Structure 1
């Protein structure tokens, strides 16, 4: 079955507010997306499985929050040696990342529950570990999920002058070594959110290059309260029992572990050789493909058979499925993947995947190296079909 370019529009779940009239629109025949949704819905109905409010997800939430609480208490109140602190710091950093990958991520995408207040509560888990669920909703759920890998619109690929993650971004001389220096800098990802990024976004009213509506009322109260709770847990309470240098050292350790994990999972899904970096048309207002096809061109699965990894990172090794169906709980992505892959094959649409975690890491490394070379040596804007 072929795809033509006759229909325009962005799925309502992916579109930003109408106040942002400069948003890019998508072209093309949406028959693939409609059929894919029909088949996925039919599969859930056939199996008698609910797309949200999964008992498996509630149990998983209890386990992750329990590990986080126990690791925090043990690190602050019980650790008596440096090696105990190091081990507990690693566990706490992994638990922080797991909260983001699993609990917050499903809640933020309204994939956790049919009840809005439950989704909101789970999304606030990001505020507990130092981020802002409000700003994340703009940065990730709206800007990134709608315009994946479109420079100037997808703020998740914007590292400023530090790195070049898209062939459309300007190249700086130091980018020649980005395939080496970005790896340790990924560890600063969470620290930047905690101490600078969210406050900078609030002050400027922009996320990357995109304007957003600053929080008001309860949203603003949630932002302020979340920061107070996090800084109390990260610095206030530990300083009653430990020296400032010790608190700072272990804060950096825990945050670096979480930051590396968060950054790598994103990069392996979108900043790899197989992913496309599409350009709008000459008007700068229109993409040439339908929204669902754009998601498939710009997103790559990895290590789908690794159940342990999938459990820890909230099924985000199934990134294709997540981008096509962000409101389905991640515990169901293996089921969704079978339908997506079969439908892609029938429609002649390329389904991109790295078989292993290592293959994704290697592809990301190679792309960073290519993007760091001269502009003439950059990757093409659109990956092969």
Structure 2
């Protein structure tokens, strides 16, 4: 059975190449998902809380954007020595990641506002900092959110030959050391988006292994203007005041900080020991579980009690809640989490969580190391999600 219609904007399934009827489908009884949605809606009504258009979110947006503008202006117009540029570049990198985690992410998932225009404007914040909100909508909101951790369908776990994140992906000899070399390479994640990834996707018409509809009209104009704005901010304006060497060094540092933060938040939610990597049936057209159960099997929360971290990364330490309710603003995830955890207990569904940030990092490290070793277990066994200890 396909995902619930309430998620249509965020989880539009696009036909796999071997699926003549249009999509890789989910199977099973959706009673858990229906009851969970009913309870979450009831909790919002009981508390008198709006799912979107939160004053808290608008204030947060102002703080993040102000930090970005002030750090950028200080770097371009006032910084004259390395000891001034380095801390400012780190702040700018964190602010860039925060724009993606908070403003753009809620806007792209239609979770920022009830008004489509406001959501689109907030999603365009990604274009300002070097990505493409249009391609992101296909890559993340559609492919990833529909088919989490399904190799060949979820492009977010596809590093090509560079790394092996799923047991269903082929192992290369150099993957033996991926638990070491991938960490610094996470720092080039943002640079790859800026200079290669989006352009490659546009030229080939594919995201990972999956085709997508190239932008036209307003979407194409947004892509082009966004890239022009970003390259002007990243290189054009700074080169009027600083040497090319200084500009490139600051660009790489800002991008490395943002890239590491962006990569790690995703990896700790899905590419860890406790997350499943399910396989479609023999036809390649059907998953064995309902959509909501699939989200819970493939997603792991982390450090839910860390309010500072949660504020910075847009509540994405509550990844389970985000995947089940992508159109609810992230500022409400703690409220949603209480309902989700209680409902999971009643239905006997495993709720996966790492209690600390460090535990999530360690689990990701062990998973990379395990997948880099020569096969010692059957792929099917590796694809199963082990229960969390304790």
TM-score by length of 1: 0.97
| Corresponding residue of 1:4 | none
Give the equivalent residue in structure 1 for 2:357: 357
Q: 1:16 aligns with which of 12, 16, 36?
A: 12
**Deviation of the 1:11 alpha carbon:** 2.2
Partner of 2:83: 83
Does the Cα contact within 8 Å between 2:11 and 2:145 map onto a contact in 1? no
Q: Secondary structure at the match of 1:153?
A: coil
SS of 1:72's equivalent in the other structure is helix
Distance 1:341 1:373 in 2: 35
The equivalences for 1:43-122 within 5 A come to 43-122=43-122
Distance 1:15 1:66, change over 3 A: closer
Q: Distance in 2 between matches of 1:163 and 1:220?
A: 31
> Which 4+ stretches in 1 moved above 6 angstroms?
none
Gaps of 5+ in 1: 1-7
Distance, in Å, in 2 between the alignment partners of 1:19 and 1:314 is 31
Q: How far apart in 1 are the matches of 2:308 and 2:13?
A: 38
Structure 2 residue matching 1:286: 3-state secondary structure? coil
Distance 1:17 1:174 in 2: 34
Query: Structure 2 vs 1, CA of residues 15 and 67 (structure 1 numbering), >3 Å: closer, same or farther?
Result: closer
Looking at structure 2, the residues matched to 328 and 17 of structure 1 have their Cα atoms a distance apart, in angstroms, of 20
Q: What is the TM-score with the length of structure 2 in the denominator?
A: 0.95
CA drift at 1:111: 0.2
Residue pair 1:22, 1:285 contacting (<8 A) in 2 also: no
Q: CA deviation at 1:18?
A: 6.3
Checking the alignment, whether the CA contact within 8 Å between 2:276 and 2:384 is kept in structure 1 is yes
Q: Do structure 1's residue 243 and structure 2's residue 209 form an aligned pair?
A: no
- The residue correspondences of 1:342-381 to structure 2 (distance < 5 A) are 342-377=342-377, 380-381=382-383
Counterpart secondary structure, 2:383:
coil
Partner of 1:5: none
Spell out, residue by residue over 1:18-70, the C-alpha distance to the aligned partner (whole angstroms, 9 max, x if none): 66654210000000000000000000000000000000000000000000000
Matches within 5 A, 1:1-385: 8-12=1-5, 13=7, 14-16=10-12, 21-377=21-377, 380-384=382-386
Q: Aligned partners of 1:215 and 1:155: how far apart in 2?
A: 19
Question: Distance between the aligned counterparts of 2:4 and 2:376, measured in 1?
Answer: 36
> 1:206 and 1:16 mapped to 2: Cα distance?
16
The alignment covers a number of residue pairs equal to 378
Q: Secondary structure at the match of 1:51?
A: coil
**Is the 2:11–2:141 Cα contact (8 Å) retained in structure 1?**
no
Assess, with a 3 A threshold, how the Cα gap between structure 1 residues 18 and 313 changes in structure 2: closer, same or farther: closer
SS at match of 1:169: coil
Counterpart contact for 1:179–1:369, Cα < 8 Å: yes
